[in-house]
Amino acid sequence: MPKLTIEQLDLRGKRVFLRADLNAPLDGDAVSDDTRLTAVVPTVRRALDGGASVVLASHLGRPKGGPDPKYSLAPVARRMSELLGVPVPLAPDCVGEATTALARALPPGAVLLLENLRFHPEEEQNDDGFAQALAALADVYVNDAFAAAHRAHASIAAITRHLQPAAAGLLMRSELDALGTILEAPKRPLVAILGGAKVSDKVTLVEHLLERVDALLIGGGMAFTFLHAIGHAVGTSLLEADRVETARRVMDAARRRGVQVVLPVDAVVASGLDAPRGRAVGVRDIPADQMGLDIGPRTVERFAEVVRTAGTVVWNGPMGVFEKAPFAEGTLGVGRAVAASPAFSVIGGGDTVAAVNQAGVAGRIGYISTAGGAFLEFLEGRTLPGVEALTEAPR
């Protein structure tokens, strides 16, 4: 069902509890990558322009059940203040008398950032009492943290039992629109590109996508399990022996459905991850003492041919050991091919986003998802607690 969005709310004089994903990497006491912070700015501004004050909430890292200065949101508060052009003070905690007093004193146009939600173990426990304490800080709930929407946590799920209406922020709405297009009404042909290390990480996704896609392009470490399943020796490449039968089952299902499965025809091999360079060989010729660490140039071109004729492309996962320069070219090449395609393209996952940025083509991608796990679970057809908890839009 379509969900209520912040654009449908009258926010004048209201305090908005805005759950964001501000889980940004830090370098000392500074934010080193503000991508996630920048992504939520339009929703904060929408609320402020609508006459509201904003109680901003997020987690940061994985503190072990209590306050830890290393995981304080203080650097995030400073960077958000710069991005918004208004003061963003940091509350001493996310609940408690002092925090409640600060929230209730907020005038329209003001922002308060709560301290790390995960300083309280009740957050990850989806504790109802903790959720009720968070709900008491505001009049309206808005969730803009799609990247955390697959977590049944107190600030994402339980809070909506005590704070209504519960609306999607602008980023959440954009994510749901883009991913919903893939699942419900994609322009055909729909092509999925999957990479990453393991078949086991993507089995559910592959099986779900087979019911929807017209072509499935498989790269990354997971490709070698598929190659082994059709009889190729893969040297010392990553191989999940217990998933070979799964790979065969996937390919049989694809044949029955008329889905084209495209596997690598060549690979860049080397003796190990620290090798200064690799060399491209056909997948029939991988030496017994070498491992495949990237797709080869012929595979990049083969993938590009399929992508060129696509109506919609969804891509998750690198094509090789992307973080190592000698084995990044396959991922970068696929990124350039997706960007050059006339298709509507959607990508998600940290490495995949990093690849299109490194290739200089991010501006030519249709939609770049901020999420990793939530992106995959949504495409797998799972119900995301953070989405399910939102109020349904009026008909």
CA pair distance 18, 97, nearest whole angstrom: 20
The residue from 14, 15, 36, 202 that is catalytic is 36
**Please, what is the Cα angle at 14 between 10 and 17, to 5 degrees?**
105
Total count of domains within the chain: 2
pLDDT of res. 376: 85
Burial environment of residue 314 by CB neighbours within 10 A (0 to 12, 13 to 18, 19 or more): buried
pLDDT of res. 181: 86
The residue among 214, 222, 287, 290 whose CA lies nearest residue 254 is 214
pLDDT of res. 373: 83
3-state secondary structure of 149: coil
Does the annotation mark 169 as catalytic? no
Contact 111, 80 (CB under 8 A): yes
Identify whether 249 is part of a domain.
yes
**pTM to 2 decimals?**
0.87
Among 172, 194, 212, identify where a domain stops: 172
The residue from 96, 180, 350, 360 that is catalytic is 350
Identify whether 247 is part of a domain.
yes
The residue from 61, 311, 366, 373 that is catalytic is 373
pLDDT of res. 142: 98
pLDDT of res. 319: 96
Does the annotation mark 373 as catalytic? yes
The residue from 198, 212, 298, 324 that is catalytic is 198
3-state secondary structure of 353: helix
Identify whether 222 is part of a domain.
yes
Contact 39, 370 (CB under 8 A): yes
* Residue range 123-164, pLDDT digits in tens: 999 999 999 999 999 999 999 999 999 999 999 999 999 999
Domain around 349: 186-379
Identify whether 132 is part of a domain.
yes
* Residue range 238-263, pLDDT digits in tens: 999 999 999 999 999 999 999 999 99
CA pair distance 350, 372, nearest whole angstrom: 7
Does the annotation mark 348 as catalytic? no
Does the annotation mark 70 as catalytic? no
